Structure 1
Amino acid sequence: MREDEAVTSYFHRLSETAFAPTEHVGGAWNPDEQHVAPVLGLLAHVIEAEHHARRPEAPLVLARASYDILGVIPMDEFEVAAPRVIRAGRTIELVEATLSHGGRAALTVRAWMLTQNDTSAMAGVTLPPMPERESLPEWAPMDVWPGGAIRSIEARREFIETGRSRCWIRPKHPLLEGEPVSHRARMLGMTDFANGIATRVAPETALYPNIDLTASIFREPAGDWFGLDTSVSFGSDGIGLTESVLSDAAGPVGTSSQTLTVRPR
């Protein structure tokens, strides 16, 4: 990207399969590496776009996305291969996409796509609701974490106890300029921030990046603000877990889970 070109999105599309990150994707553990949060949203968008183009007459919806982080992603151009259908079906599909940098696979996602049925008569949710956004104090996550991705979000957070917080976050920028992106993909592009909003220890004390993220979404989110009701647990042998209830203004829409590798500095 030219130095005089305005940075207004998380990524620029270079071709059908190639993308370039902007400064808004800089990582929290290392600003010279990409934060995976926006990348997860981009992969969900690629899967949804390919799916709708392939079967526009009866598209399915992304119900679960399971990501595996295979390595760091430099702040450099990368490729996302055309999604591959692993399990084809009229009402259920399993689709896989892989992000590569320099010929090396760095991140994969498997997404279950499901048909929609009218279940409004039996709908119900027992997951805990988020407090109203305006009731939570504004929070500056950049006071704890470095990186362009952290600076790219607005946040309101309620600290409950060590390893437990509730937070509303909103991305300040579109995922891709000039392309419509679903609210599901936008939310999936925010879920990885959960690991940084309910810290058990300061990042100066230990490294605890996640090596995966699995999210299940049972209805289409709405709006730009997404709620994360997050709990973080560390075991005694270097493995941790971050779990979140995902919400929009109308209530919970799903859950996410991240497995952590905890490494004292």
Structure 2
Amino acid sequence: MPAYFERLASEGVNETRFQPTAFTGGAWNVTEQHVAPPIGLLAHAIEVDHAARSPQPMQLSRLSVDILGVIPIDEVEVTCRVLRPGRSIELVEATLAQGGRPALSARAWLLHMRDTEALAGSAHPAMPPRDAIERVDPSSAWPGEFIATVGEVRRRQEAPGRAWTWILPAVPLLEGEPVSTTARLASLIDIANGVTPRVDPREVAFPNLDLTLHLVRAPEDGWVGFDTTVTFGATGLGMTHTVLHDERGVVGSVVQSLTVRPHR
């Protein structure tokens, strides 16, 4: 199966331009890219840039992305720059642009790895077992090729805006290039805002303006669990908060700011 992106070949692995495939088609507008794969592309670029510069491996701790505009399904360019260099802590900025117009801006904290296995743990409740959760078809509620190709989805709905969801991604982020489990996770997590809508998206739009991912460890390959709660305020503001899991337990969290827009 093709990937979400292909790196353009003129400069090989140093090429900063990428061609999205039709699989990136969005949910709010099917002629634009869903921002989930481009966010994964930014995470991948940050990791590749760091590996090329530093002999000291670091791990992604936080990825904060601002969505600056819509992204047509056309060539994108990704650039990285170091804002705060360091031997144990580093702050990197990455931008995804089209035709010179920035569409996504991300800042990532990278941290040195230490052995804290004896301290590891979390009080967040575990996800329900997958075999106890009904399989669902997300494309029945959302249009777009990205949603249609996201893979197997299982969800337990407690209430509108509150659910536990397991997702098994089916499409690779990048054609012919190894991608870390962290970047693969980053290429999926924007879907959190749509896994348990509070209202029918045909009646109310609630796109997110940003996404902030915090990690406590690198995720394992395979299923991703979303423990999601959606909140709408009374003045057009909203928030989607998700605790992320893999089969070992808690991986981190993602928060998205929403602009709530009833159709009139």
Give the TM bin, normalised by the shorter chain: over 0.9
Give distance in 2, aligned partners of 1:220 and 1:78: 27
1:170-209 alignment runs, 5 A limit: 170-209=168-207
Number of equivalenced pairs: 257
1:213-224 alignment runs, 5 A limit: 213-224=211-222
SS at match of 1:138: strand
Give distance in 1, aligned partners of 2:222 and 2:63: 20
Q: CA deviation at 1:70?
A: 0.2
The root-mean-square deviation of aligned C-alpha atoms, in Å, is 0.9
Residue 74 of structure 1 is matched in structure 2 by: 72
Q: CA deviation at 1:170?
A: 1.9
Contact 1:240–1:261, Cα closer than 8 Å, also in 2: yes
Q: Does 1:65 align with 2:59?
A: no
1:253 to 248, 251, 254: 251
Q: CA deviation at 1:126?
A: 1.2
Q: Does 1:10 align with 2:4?
A: yes
Q: CA deviation at 1:138?
A: 0.6
Q: CA deviation at 1:124?
A: 1.3
Give distance in 1, aligned partners of 2:193 and 2:208: 8
Give distance in 1, aligned partners of 2:149 and 2:262: 28
Opposite residue 38 of structure 1, the aligned amino acid is P
1:42-61 alignment runs, 5 A limit: 42-55=41-54, 57-61=55-59
Give distance in 2, aligned partners of 1:227 and 1:173: 17
Q: Deviations over 1:168-221 (max 9, x none)?
A: 112211101211111111111111001001101011111100000001011111
1:1-265 alignment runs, 5 A limit: 8-15=2-9, 16-55=15-54, 57-81=55-79, 83-153=80-150, 154-265=152-263
Unaligned stretches of 5+ in structure 1?
Answer: 1-6
- TM-score norm. by structure 2 comes to 0.96
- After TM superposition, the structure 1 stretch with the greater mean CA deviation from structure 2, 127-136 or 41-50, is 127-136
Q: CA deviation at 1:41?
A: 0.7
Contact 1:223–1:249, Cα closer than 8 Å, also in 2: no
Q: Deviations over 1:225-244 (max 9, x none)?
A: 10110000000100100000
Q: Deviations over 1:141-188 (max 9, x none)?
A: 000000011011121111111110110112211101211111111111
Q: Deviations over 1:83-116 (max 9, x none)?
A: 1000000000000000101111000110000011
SS at match of 1:47: helix
- Segments of 4+ in structure 1 off by > 3 A? none
SS at match of 1:220: coil
Give distance in 2, aligned partners of 1:224 and 1:180: 15
Give distance in 2, aligned partners of 1:193 and 1:58: 32
Give distance in 1, aligned partners of 2:52 and 2:165: 35
- TM-score norm. by structure 1 comes to 0.95
